[in-house]
Protein backbone atom coordinates (compact mmCIF):
# COMPACT_ATOMS: atom_id res chain seq x y z
CA UNK A 1 0.00 0.00 0.00
CA UNK A 2 1.33 3.35 -1.05
CA UNK A 3 1.38 6.28 1.42
CA UNK A 4 -0.08 9.50 0.11
CA UNK A 5 1.49 12.78 1.07
CA UNK A 6 -1.12 15.28 2.21
CA UNK A 7 -0.44 18.97 1.66
CA UNK A 8 -1.75 21.04 4.53
CA UNK A 9 -0.56 24.30 3.00
CA UNK A 10 1.98 26.68 4.45
CA UNK A 11 1.82 27.25 8.18
CA UNK A 12 0.27 30.59 9.05
CA UNK A 13 2.12 33.09 11.17
CA UNK A 14 0.82 33.52 14.71
CA UNK A 15 1.05 37.31 14.33
CA UNK A 16 -1.65 39.03 12.29
CA UNK A 17 -0.39 40.65 9.11
CA UNK A 18 -1.01 44.41 8.79
CA UNK A 19 -3.35 45.49 5.98
CA UNK A 20 -1.82 46.88 2.79
CA UNK A 21 -3.54 50.27 3.24
CA UNK A 22 -5.37 52.08 6.03
CA UNK A 23 -7.57 55.09 5.33
CA UNK A 24 -9.77 57.36 7.44
CA UNK A 25 -11.62 60.70 7.31
CA UNK A 26 -11.51 63.13 10.20
CA UNK A 27 -11.87 66.84 10.92
CA UNK A 28 -8.64 68.75 11.43
CA UNK A 29 -9.76 70.07 14.83
CA UNK A 30 -12.62 69.35 17.15
CA UNK A 31 -15.68 71.47 16.40
CA UNK A 32 -16.88 73.43 19.40
CA UNK A 33 -19.06 76.42 20.08
CA UNK A 34 -17.35 79.42 21.64
CA UNK A 35 -19.02 80.81 24.75
CA UNK A 36 -19.93 84.48 24.84
CA UNK A 37 -17.19 85.01 27.42
CA UNK A 38 -14.56 84.09 24.79
CA UNK A 39 -15.64 86.99 22.58
CA UNK A 40 -15.91 89.32 25.59
CA UNK A 41 -12.32 88.49 26.64
CA UNK A 42 -10.95 88.98 23.10
CA UNK A 43 -12.74 92.30 22.66
CA UNK A 44 -11.78 93.41 26.20
CA UNK A 45 -8.11 92.69 25.50
CA UNK A 46 -8.39 94.55 22.21
CA UNK A 47 -9.86 97.64 23.88
CA UNK A 48 -7.23 97.51 26.64
CA UNK A 49 -4.37 97.21 24.15
CA UNK A 50 -5.86 99.95 21.95
CA UNK A 51 -5.95 102.22 25.01
CA UNK A 52 -2.25 101.47 25.58
CA UNK A 53 -1.56 102.24 21.90
CA UNK A 54 -3.35 105.61 22.16
CA UNK A 55 -1.58 106.43 25.45
CA UNK A 56 1.79 105.59 23.89
CA UNK A 57 0.80 107.41 20.68
CA UNK A 58 1.80 104.30 18.74
CA UNK A 59 -0.39 104.09 15.64
CA UNK A 60 1.24 100.92 14.24
CA UNK A 61 0.73 99.02 17.50
CA UNK A 62 -2.96 99.96 17.38
CA UNK A 63 -3.24 98.67 13.81
CA UNK A 64 -1.49 95.45 14.84
CA UNK A 65 -3.92 94.96 17.76
CA UNK A 66 -6.95 95.42 15.48
CA UNK A 67 -5.56 92.98 12.89
CA UNK A 68 -4.67 90.40 15.57
CA UNK A 69 -8.09 90.60 17.23
CA UNK A 70 -9.83 90.38 13.87
CA UNK A 71 -7.78 87.32 12.94
CA UNK A 72 -8.60 85.55 16.23
CA UNK A 73 -12.31 86.34 15.83
CA UNK A 74 -12.29 85.24 12.18
CA UNK A 75 -10.50 81.96 12.91
CA UNK A 76 -12.81 81.19 15.82
CA UNK A 77 -15.80 81.35 13.46
CA UNK A 78 -14.35 78.88 10.92
CA UNK A 79 -15.69 75.34 10.84
CA UNK A 80 -12.93 72.71 10.79
CA UNK A 81 -12.27 71.06 7.44
CA UNK A 82 -12.55 67.33 6.99
CA UNK A 83 -9.63 65.51 5.34
CA UNK A 84 -9.03 61.99 4.18
CA UNK A 85 -5.79 60.22 5.04
CA UNK A 86 -4.33 57.02 3.68
CA UNK A 87 -1.36 54.96 4.79
CA UNK A 88 -0.37 53.08 1.65
CA UNK A 89 2.34 50.46 1.35
CA UNK A 90 4.99 52.94 0.17
CA UNK A 91 3.69 56.42 1.06
CA UNK A 92 1.39 58.56 3.20
CA UNK A 93 -1.38 60.34 1.26
CA UNK A 94 -3.43 63.34 2.37
CA UNK A 95 -6.70 64.08 0.58
CA UNK A 96 -7.22 62.97 -3.00
CA UNK A 97 -3.48 62.84 -3.62
CA UNK A 98 -3.19 66.53 -2.66
CA UNK A 99 0.00 65.68 -0.78
CA UNK A 100 2.05 62.50 -0.81
CA UNK A 101 4.99 61.69 1.43
CA UNK A 102 7.34 58.73 1.08
CA UNK A 103 8.02 57.01 4.39
CA UNK A 104 11.75 57.61 3.88
CA UNK A 105 11.14 61.33 4.54
CA UNK A 106 10.15 60.61 8.16
CA UNK A 107 12.54 59.71 10.96
CA UNK A 108 9.91 58.26 13.34
CA UNK A 109 6.30 58.45 14.50
CA UNK A 110 4.29 58.50 17.71
CA UNK A 111 0.66 58.57 18.78
CA UNK A 112 -0.05 61.15 21.49
CA UNK A 113 -3.15 61.06 23.66
CA UNK A 114 -4.32 64.52 24.75
CA UNK A 115 -7.56 63.13 26.21
CA UNK A 116 -9.34 59.75 25.98
CA UNK A 117 -11.06 60.73 22.72
CA UNK A 118 -8.41 63.09 21.37
CA UNK A 119 -5.50 61.28 19.70
CA UNK A 120 -2.93 62.62 17.27
CA UNK A 121 -0.46 60.83 15.05
CA UNK A 122 2.90 62.63 14.98
CA UNK A 123 5.04 62.04 11.90
CA UNK A 124 8.48 63.58 12.42
CA UNK A 125 10.44 64.61 9.33
CA UNK A 126 14.15 63.85 8.99
CA UNK A 127 14.80 67.50 8.06
CA UNK A 128 15.31 69.48 11.26
CA UNK A 129 13.70 72.68 9.99
CA UNK A 130 10.39 71.03 9.08
CA UNK A 131 7.81 70.87 11.84
CA UNK A 132 6.35 67.50 12.65
CA UNK A 133 3.05 66.56 11.04
CA UNK A 134 0.02 66.27 13.35
CA UNK A 135 -2.90 64.12 12.20
CA UNK A 136 -5.97 63.41 14.32
CA UNK A 137 -6.99 59.77 14.45
CA UNK A 138 -9.94 57.83 15.82
CA UNK A 139 -9.41 55.84 19.02
CA UNK A 140 -10.58 52.64 17.31
CA UNK A 141 -7.93 53.03 14.59
CA UNK A 142 -4.99 53.58 16.95
CA UNK A 143 -3.83 49.97 17.16
CA UNK A 144 -4.18 49.34 13.42
CA UNK A 145 -2.26 52.51 12.56
CA UNK A 146 0.52 51.82 15.08
CA UNK A 147 0.89 48.22 13.89
CA UNK A 148 1.03 49.33 10.26
CA UNK A 149 3.51 52.16 10.83
CA UNK A 150 5.82 50.00 12.98
CA UNK A 151 6.57 48.03 9.81
CA UNK A 152 7.66 51.28 8.08
CA UNK A 153 9.09 53.56 10.79
CA UNK A 154 10.41 53.33 14.35
CA UNK A 155 8.11 54.55 17.10
CA UNK A 156 9.72 57.04 19.50
CA UNK A 157 8.09 58.95 22.34
CA UNK A 158 7.39 62.48 21.07
CA UNK A 159 5.83 65.25 23.13
CA UNK A 160 3.85 68.12 21.63
CA UNK A 161 5.40 71.58 21.78
CA UNK A 162 4.10 74.39 23.97
CA UNK A 163 2.58 76.02 20.89
CA UNK A 164 0.73 72.77 20.07
CA UNK A 165 -0.68 72.62 23.59
CA UNK A 166 -1.78 76.27 23.47
CA UNK A 167 -3.51 75.76 20.13
CA UNK A 168 -5.37 72.77 21.64
CA UNK A 169 -6.53 74.90 24.55
CA UNK A 170 -7.66 77.76 22.30
CA UNK A 171 -9.16 75.31 19.82
CA UNK A 172 -7.55 76.48 16.59
- CATH at 152: 2.40.50
Give the mean pLDDT of the chain.
81
4 has a pLDDT exceeding 70: no
d(CA 124, CA 146): 14
Give the domain range for residue 107.
102-160
Digit-coded pLDDT (tens) for 149-163: 888 888 888 887 787
The verdict on residue 130 lying in a domain is: yes
Total domains present in the chain: 2
CA distances from 148 to 9, 14, 20, 104, 154 (A): 26, 16, 8, 15, 11
The verdict on residue 135 lying in a domain is: yes
Regarding whether 73 and 106 lie in a shared domain, the answer is no
The verdict on residue 26 lying in a domain is: no
Regarding whether 155 and 110 lie in a shared domain, the answer is yes
* Rounded mean pLDDT, 139-145: 87
The verdict on residue 129 lying in a domain is: yes
49 has a pLDDT exceeding 80: yes
Q: Rounded to two decimals, what is the model's pTM?
A: 0.61
The verdict on residue 132 lying in a domain is: yes
For residue 172, what pLDDT is reported? 58
Regarding whether 118 and 156 lie in a shared domain, the answer is yes
Regarding whether 109 and 67 lie in a shared domain, the answer is no
Regarding whether 108 and 72 lie in a shared domain, the answer is no
The single-letter DSSP state of residue 81 is: P
Q: Are 122 and 113 within 8 A, CB to CB?
A: no
Digit-coded pLDDT (tens) for 14-39: 455 556 788 888 776 667 778 889 89
For residue 10, what pLDDT is reported? 41
The verdict on residue 2 lying in a domain is: no
Regarding whether 152 and 106 lie in a shared domain, the answer is yes
Regarding whether 106 and 155 lie in a shared domain, the answer is yes
The verdict on residue 126 lying in a domain is: yes
The verdict on residue 86 lying in a domain is: no
Amino acid sequence: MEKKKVDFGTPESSEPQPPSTISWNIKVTEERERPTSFYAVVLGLMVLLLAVAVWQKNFLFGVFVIIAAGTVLFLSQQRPESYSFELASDRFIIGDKEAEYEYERFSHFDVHEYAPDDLELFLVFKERLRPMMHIRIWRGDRERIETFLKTKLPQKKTEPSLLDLLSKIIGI
